Amino acid sequence: MKNKGIFKKLFSFFSYYSSDNIDWYLFGSIAFLVIFGLVMLSSAGAPDGFRNFGDSYWHVKHQLIFGFLPGLVCFFFFSRFDHRKLKKLALPLLIFSIVLLVLVFVPGIGSSNDTIARSWLNIFGFSIQPAEIVKLTYLLFLVAWLVGKGEKKIQDLHYGFLPFIFILLVVVGLLMLQPDFGTMSIILFTSLAVYFVAGGRFLHMLWLSLVGVGGLAVMVKISPYRLARLTTFLHPELDPNGIGYHINQALLAVGSGSWLGRGFGHSRQKFAYLPEVAGDSIFAVVAEELGFVISAIVVLVFMFVAIRGFKLANQCKDQFSRLLAIGIITWFLFQAFLNIGAIIGILPLTGVPLPFISFGGTSLTMCLAATGILANISYQNRKG
**Of 362, 378, 368, 297, which Cα lies nearest the Cα of 332?**
368
Total domains, the chain: 1
Please state, as a whole number, how many other Cβ atoms lie within 10 Å of the Cβ of residue 108: 6
C-alpha separations of 316 from 147, 202, 281 in Å: 14, 24, 36
Residue 346 DSSP SS3? coil
Question: Is 6 inside a domain boundary?
Answer: no
Residue 150 included in any domain? yes
* Plot region of 276 (φ>0 → left; ψ -120 to 50 → alpha; else → beta): left
Hey, which residues does 110 pair with through a beta bridge? 107, 121
Burial class (CB within 10 angstroms; exposed 0-12, middle 13-18, buried 19+) of 185: buried
Amino acid at 365: T
17 falls within a domain: no
Contacts of residue 200, defined as CB under 8 A and 6 or more positions apart, other chains included, come to 154, 155, 160, 161, 164
Q: Return d(Cα 149, Cα 247) in angstroms, integer.
A: 44
Sign of CA dihedral 128, 119, 287, 275: negative
C-beta separation of 366 from 310 below 8 A? no
Distance CA 299, CA 284 (A): 13
Burial of 1 from C-beta contacts in 10 A (0-12 / 13-18 / 19+): exposed
Domain assignment of residue 27, yes or no: no
Q: Name residue 123's beta-bridge partners.
A: 126
Q: Could you tell me which of 284, 278, 367, 365 has the C-alpha nearest to residue 59?
A: 278
In a domain, 253, yes or no: yes
**Residue 236's pLDDT is what?**
67
pLDDT < 70 regions, the chain: 1-14, 19, 108-118, 123-125, 212, 215-242, 384
Structure confidence by residue, pLDDT tens digits, 307-346: 999 999 999 989 999 999 999 999 999 999 999 999 998 8
> Is the backbone of residue 360 left (phi > 0), alpha (psi -120 to 50) or beta?
left
In a domain, 18, yes or no: no
Would 135 be classed as within a structural domain? yes
Q: Which residues pair with 126 in a beta bridge?
A: 123
Contact 358, 281 (CB under 8 A): no
pLDDT at 335: 96
Q: Could you tell me if residue 75 is inside a domain?
A: yes
Segments forming the whole domain that contains residue 146: 32-383
Burial class (CB in 10 A: 0-12, 13-18, 19+), 17: middle
What's the CA gap between 340 and 335, in Å, rounded? 9
pLDDT given for residue 115 in this prediction: 47
